[in-house]
């Protein structure tokens, strides 16, 4: 059972993961020990998995290529889709994996340095996993929004600077 | 032409807003962080914007009823009944206005005659006093203080009442102080008023934005007060819809009638797209159990606590606001006037706040800081204010 404090903390971290436990305590009207206990609990429950930064790599000089791969698989007895998904998540190239409803089973988000590397990953490793019956690869061309943040487009504050 | 001789003295004699100066300075500073903004930092939720876009595509471009869209008035009636236990007929007791601001103007023009006094708890929003003056009345400030949590006390009210007193403006939750009034406190005010003919204009635009367990009480919901109360509210703050300009005025039919008449002759109706968007905003709120509003309030509440703690920690005594999205710390210890504090803070550290005096003379010794800005901006602004205060 998650407490109101837990939910506050998650909302704060969603907005800005740099907020310190002390600040969180102030913001939620609790004390630092309670916040730390809550953070521990959330980590133990697998709710808080990590703290990453949202980076728009497209604005850097780093070379990379990303693709969404639709994967069809044969679900395994007892384990359903989980066993194959567990194998797919092991690869460093794989950034996200989702079980989907609809025309295909798993959606795999991949990243590699070059097109050639990504292609090689798909045809020589992903497609050859036992139980994978087909893949369809779509390259990403541009990121407009990610993790709730607008990457491409205006994020300007349009408000008048001083208003009564 | 000798404009000074020709123009309306009632208008020309009102000084320009004290905020203008800061606005002009901030505009020249690209790195300035503004805590001077009086509107939410949320953009109107997409589904609300989409409703307006769709209405344009479908050609809803005509005037609405002078009262406002019927479905919108019905939703407002349902909202006020459900949320604040006040009942107004959507037929002729709810008037959709161009923001709550139009409501203030209409109310003053409808009730104030030359020679009348209107009591205004101070500090408070900048437009009440000019609206009274434009109508030929005299605004009478009633000082409130941090010791009383900026609530209006029955004693102060009683002391201010004279035979000329026509109306009282009740601006709670309050801009700029963040002060609120509990149901009990309002009942005390009601007891002072019950044997008088004094009308009440209750500006409840921040009603949804209350914190720390406080529950907003609509003044009209207090026994015996409905008949003398004009309730003003709107969509700007609770639904992040400032630029749409949609508000409403509610009162018993006969009391609302003169407001309606002025609105009918001078405004006709609020923008139809704004009304359609407002209709969607309330519709969506009913469907989702006001989840958007709640999430916004939780977010403001956390920033509010952070502001209060940090300001107190740096020696700027800060009363704990329970409403709106402002904190109103005392800067008396610095020895500076409100205006000097804000001017220097802006020039030296590029943080814009509003001097308390912009909200009436009794705001001297305080500054208004809005926390309707991102956590990142707030943290940086607080860091700069601390540096400024330390260096004084």
**Interchain contact A6–B (C-beta under 8 A):** no
B212 contact residues in A (CB cutoff 8 A): 29
Mean pLDDT value across chain B: 96
Instruction: Using CB atoms, pick whichever of B38, B305, B376 lies closest to residue A164.
Output: B38
**Interchain contact A160–B (C-beta under 8 A):** yes
- Number of C-alpha atoms within 13 angstroms, CB side, residue B364? 6
Question: Are B376 and A29 within 8 A, CB to CB?
Answer: no
pLDDT at B323 over 80: yes
Question: Are A27 and B358 within 8 A, CB to CB?
Answer: no
Give the CA-trace dihedral at B373, B376, B382, B384, to 10 degrees. Answer: -110
Distance (Å, rounded) from C-alpha B76 to C-alpha B131?
Answer: 25
Which residue from B100, B103, B91 is spatially nearest to B67, judged by alpha carbons? B91
pLDDT at B204 over 70: yes
Compute the nearest-CA separation of B306 from chain A (Å).
Answer: 5
Question: Are B36 and A16 within 8 A, CB to CB?
Answer: no
pLDDT at A117 over 70: yes
DSSP sequence for A46-71: TS---------GGGSS---EEEEEEE
Instruction: Using CB atoms, pick whichever of A11, A16, A162 lies closest to residue B376.
Output: A16
> Residues B221-259, buried b or exposed e (16+ Cβ, 10 A)?
bbeebbebbbbbbbbbbbbbbbebbbbbbbbbeebbeeb
Question: Chain B residue closest to A10 (CA)?
Answer: B299
Residue labelled with tokens 């989840």 = B291
A4-44 matches A57-142 in fold: no
CATH number of this structure's domain B57-288? 3.40.640.10
Distance (Å, rounded) from C-alpha A57 to C-alpha A107?
Answer: 22
pLDDT at A67 over 80: yes
Find out whether B323 and B209 touch, Cβ atoms under 8 Å.
yes
Single pTM value for the model: 0.89
pLDDT grade for A1, boundaries at 50, 70 and 90: confident
Question: Are B306 and A161 within 8 A, CB to CB?
Answer: no
pLDDT grade for A55, boundaries at 50, 70 and 90: very high
Hey, where are the domains in chain A?
A: 4-44, 57-142
Q: What percent of chain A has pLDDT over 70?
A: 99
pLDDT at A153 over 90: no
Distance (Å, rounded) from C-alpha B94 to C-alpha B220?
Answer: 13
Q: Give Cα B20 to chain centroid, integer Å.
A: 18
pLDDT at B345 over 80: yes
CA gyration radius for chain A? Answer: 21
Question: Are A163 and B37 within 8 A, CB to CB?
Answer: yes
Distances (CA, A) of A125 to A130, A135, B155: 10, 11, 81
- Number of C-alpha atoms within 13 angstroms, CB side, residue B359? 33
pLDDT grade for B30, boundaries at 50, 70 and 90: confident
Domain A4-44 has CATH 1.10.274.10: no
Under the phi-then-psi rule, with left for phi > 0, alpha for psi from -120 to 50, and beta for the rest, what region is B136?
Answer: left
Find out whether A126 and A72 touch, Cβ atoms under 8 Å.
no
B17 contact residues in A (CB cutoff 8 A): 164
CATH number of this structure's domain B16-38+291-391? 3.90.1150.10
pLDDT at B150 over 80: yes
Distance (Å, rounded) from C-alpha A14 to C-alpha A21?
Answer: 14
pLDDT at A155 over 70: no
CA gyration radius for chain B? Answer: 21
Q: Specify the domain boundaries for CATH 3.90.1150.10 within chain B.
A: 16-38+291-391
Find out whether B381 and B35 touch, Cβ atoms under 8 Å.
yes
**Interchain contact A59–B (C-beta under 8 A):** no
> Residues B56-79, buried b or exposed e (16+ Cβ, 10 A)?
eeeeeeeebebbbbeebbebbbeb
**Interchain contact B314–A (C-beta under 8 A):** no
pLDDT at B226 over 90: yes
Find out whether B315 and B350 touch, Cβ atoms under 8 Å.
no
Distance (Å, rounded) from C-alpha B360 to C-alpha B174?
Answer: 13
Distance (Å, rounded) from C-alpha B197 to C-alpha B179?
Answer: 26
Question: Are A15 and B375 within 8 A, CB to CB?
Answer: yes
Which fold, A57-142?
Answer: Alpha-Beta Plaits (3.30.70)
Q: What pLDDT shows up at residue A73?
A: 95
Compute the nearest-CA separation of A37 from chain B (Å).
Answer: 19
What is the pLDDT averaged over residues B29-50? Answer: 91
Question: Chain B residue closest to A160 (CA)?
Answer: B37
**Interchain contact B19–A (C-beta under 8 A):** yes
Q: Can the peptide bond before residue B80 be classed as cis, meaning omega within 30 degrees of 0?
A: no
Instruction: Using CB atoms, pick whichever of A8, A23, A26 lies closest to residue B298.
Output: A8
Distance (Å, rounded) from C-alpha A138 to C-alpha A26?
Answer: 46
What is the pLDDT averaged over residues B151-179? Answer: 98
Residue labelled with tokens 């409501």 = B103
**Interchain contact A155–B (C-beta under 8 A):** no
What is the pLDDT averaged over residues B30-38? Answer: 90
pLDDT digits (tens, 9 = 90+) for A124-145: 999 999 999 999 999 999 999 9
Kindly tell me the burial class for residue B343, based on how many C-beta atoms sit within 10 Å of its own C-beta (0-12, 13-18, 19 or more): middle
Q: Specify the domain boundaries for CATH 3.40.640.10 within chain B.
A: 57-288
What is the pLDDT averaged over residues B372-378? Answer: 92
Question: Are A162 and B352 within 8 A, CB to CB?
Answer: yes
pLDDT at B270 over 90: yes
pLDDT digits (tens, 9 = 90+) for B289-298: 999 999 999 9
Q: What pLDDT shows up at residue B18?
A: 75
Distance (Å, rounded) from C-alpha B169 to C-alpha B116?
Answer: 13
Distances (CA, A) of B167 to A144, A154, B141, B306: 53, 46, 12, 37
């Amino acid at each position: 059972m998650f407490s109101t404090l837990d939910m506050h903390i998650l909302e704060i971290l969603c907005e800005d993961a740099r907020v310190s436990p002390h600040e969180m305590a102030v913001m939620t009207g609790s004390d630092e020990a309670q916040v730390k206990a809550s953070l521990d609990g959330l980590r133990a429950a697998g709710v808080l998995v990590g703290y990453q930064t949202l980076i728009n790599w497209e604005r850097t000089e780093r070379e990379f290529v990303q693709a969404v791969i639709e994967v069809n698989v044969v679900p395994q007895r007892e384990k359903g889709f989980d066993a194959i998904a567990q194998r797919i998540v092991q690869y460093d190239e794989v950034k996200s994996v989702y079980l989907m409803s609809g025309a295909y089973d798993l959606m795999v988000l991949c990243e590699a340095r070059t097109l050639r590397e990504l292609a090689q990953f798909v045809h020589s490793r992903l497609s050859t996993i036992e139980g994978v019956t087909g893949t369809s690869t779509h390259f990403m061309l541009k990121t407009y929004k990610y993790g709730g943040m607008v990457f491409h487009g205006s994020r300007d504050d349009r408000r008048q600077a001083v208003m009564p | 032409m000798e404009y000074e001789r020709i123009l309306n003295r009632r208008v020309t004699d009102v000084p320009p807003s004290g905020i203008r100066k800061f606005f002009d300075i901030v505009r020249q500073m690209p790195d300035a962080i503004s805590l001077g903004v009086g509107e939410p930092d949320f953009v109107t939720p997409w589904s609300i914007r989409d409703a307006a876009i769709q209405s344009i595509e479908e050609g809803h471009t005509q005037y609405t009823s002078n009262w406002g869209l019927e479905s919108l008035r019905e939703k407002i009636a349902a909202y006020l009944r459900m949320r604040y236990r006040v009942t107004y007929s959507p037929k002729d007791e709810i008037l959709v206005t161009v923001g709550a601001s139009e409501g203030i103007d209409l109310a003053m023009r409808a009730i104030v005659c030359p020679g009348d006094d209107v009591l205004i708890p101070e500090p408070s929003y900048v437009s009440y006093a000019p609206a009274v003056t434009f109508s030929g009345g005299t605004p009478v400030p009633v000082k409130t203080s941090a010791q009383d949590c900026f609530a209006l006390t029955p004693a102060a009210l009683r002391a201010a009442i004279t035979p000329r007193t026509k109306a009282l403006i009740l601006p709670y939750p309050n801009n700029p102080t963040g002060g609120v009034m509990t149901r009990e406190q309002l009942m005390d005010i009601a007891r002072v008023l019950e044997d008088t003919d004094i009308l009440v204009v209750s500006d409840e635009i921040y009603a949804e934005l209350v914190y720390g367990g406080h529950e907003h009480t609509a003044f009209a919901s207090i026994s015996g007060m409905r008949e003398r109360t004009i309730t003003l509210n709107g969509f700007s703050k609770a639904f992040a819809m400032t630029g749409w300009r949609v508000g409403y005025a509610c009162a018993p039919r006969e009391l609302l009638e003169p407001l309606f008449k002025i609105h009918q002759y001078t405004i006709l109706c609020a923008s139809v797209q704004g009304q359609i968007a407002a209709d969607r905003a309330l519709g969506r709120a009913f469907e989702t159990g006001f989840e958007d509003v709640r999430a916004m309030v939780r977010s403001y509440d956390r920033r509010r606590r952070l502001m209060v703690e940090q300001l107190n920690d740096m020696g700027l005594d800060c009363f704990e606001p329970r409403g709106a999205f402002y904190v109103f710390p005392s800067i008396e210890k610095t020895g500076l006037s409100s205006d000097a504090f804000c001017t220097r803070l802006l020039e030296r550290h590029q943080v814009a706040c509003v001097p308390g005096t912009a909200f009436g003379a009794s705001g001297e010794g305080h500054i208004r800081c809005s926390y309707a800005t991102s956590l990142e901006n707030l943290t940086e602004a607080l860091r700069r204010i601390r540096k400024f205060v330390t260096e004084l």
